[in-house]
Structures are given as structure tokens and as C-alpha cells.
Amino acid sequence: MNKLTSVALSAALSGGLVLTLAPSSEAATPIRTKALNTALDKKGSPYRAGGKGPTYFDCSGLTYYSYKKHGKKLAATAQGQYNKSTHISWSKRAKGDLVFFGTSSRNIKHVGIYVGNNKIVNANSGSYRGYKVVVAPISEYKYGGRKVYIGRVNG
């Protein structure tokens, strides 16, 4: 049950009282922020292809798990998540947005969650940072002609 952050009482014309409950700050927190915090809590968890949590993750499994934990079900693959997200420009990106990598928007191969300062939290499948969930610069994943795409999950 959520904590109440404010309670307002007002008299109704009939002489009765109407109780108005404002949502707590927990309920008002955007799902993107909640998903980001969940992913950050998994930092250091091992990478495993097909892993969707709570112990092992691949890139899309981490984003899937992080959003699902807060009531939003995403597609199982990075491409599917890109296809279903709201595409936004680089300049509009915000913490909790999905950051996709691919040679085109029809060839998405990797996904992470934006943490700010041009970094993402993601399930890293390369030996250079270890096979685990890490926070890393976006630039590390822009190789082999990969472009960066930003997607927003609403909800």
C-alpha cells in the first residue's frame, strides 16, 4: 500500500465530507526512473545469452526485467523493443530511456538503459568489461558502423 503524501478534506454541498487522496511520490515516479534503478541494482550480475533475470541477463533481458518489475512488459528482443518504443531524438533523451545500437533501425543488435552523462547500464557481452551488467560509455558500443537510436517506454 502506498504512503499518502497529502490528504485534503473539503465540505460537500450536502454537508458531507469528501476525502481526496493525492498519490504518493512512489506512485508518481515515472516508470523509466523505476526501471533504471532496478537495472542499476543488478550491476555486476552475470551475462548469459537469453537471460531475462533475476540472476542472469542478456542486453534485452535486462531491459525486459527492469520494466516488467514495474508493470510494463516489453518485447523479448532488442529489435522488438525498438519497434515498440517511441522513437525520440538524441537531444530529447532522458534517464531511463532505452538506447539501441545497430547498423540501421531494422538491424538493432544491442540495448541498454540511459543513466545520464552519455552512459548506459547494460548486460555486456564483451570480455573488455567482463560478461556482466555494467555502466559504460555509449561510445564503447558504437563500432562496426553501429548507430545509436533512442526509444522511450511510456506507461
What residue ranges do the domains of the chain occupy? 29-152
Q: Which of 70, 87, 122, 124 is catalytic?
A: 122
DSSP letters for 78-134: HHHHHHHSEEE-GGG--TT-EEEEESSTT-EEEEEEEEETTEEEEE--STTT-SBEE
Question: What tens digit of pLDDT does each residue of 38-87 get?
Answer: 999 999 999 999 999 999 999 999 999 999 999 999 999 999 999 999 99
Q: Which of 110, 117, 118, 124 is catalytic?
A: 110
Question: What tens digit of pLDDT does each residue of 9-51 get?
Answer: 333 334 544 443 444 445 568 999 999 999 999 999 999 999 9
3-state helix vs strand vs coil in the chain, percent to 5: 25, 30, 45
Active-site annotation holds for 110: yes
Q: Which of 2, 59, 70, 154 is catalytic?
A: 59
The burial class, CB within 10 Å (0-12 / 13-18 / 19+), for 73 is exposed
Residue 115, all three cell numbers: 543513466
For position 58, what pLDDT does the model report?
A: 98
Average pLDDT over residues 90-102: 97
For position 27, what pLDDT does the model report?
A: 58
Domain 29-152 superfamily per CATH: endopeptidase domain like (from Nostoc punctiforme) (3.90.1720.10)
Residue 88, all three cell numbers: 525520440
Active-site annotation holds for 59: yes
Active-site annotation holds for 124: no
The burial class, CB within 10 Å (0-12 / 13-18 / 19+), for 146 is middle
Which residue reads 561510445 in cell numbers?
Answer: 139
Residue 77 in contact with residue 61, Cβ under 8 Å? Answer: no
d(CA 85, CA 105): 12
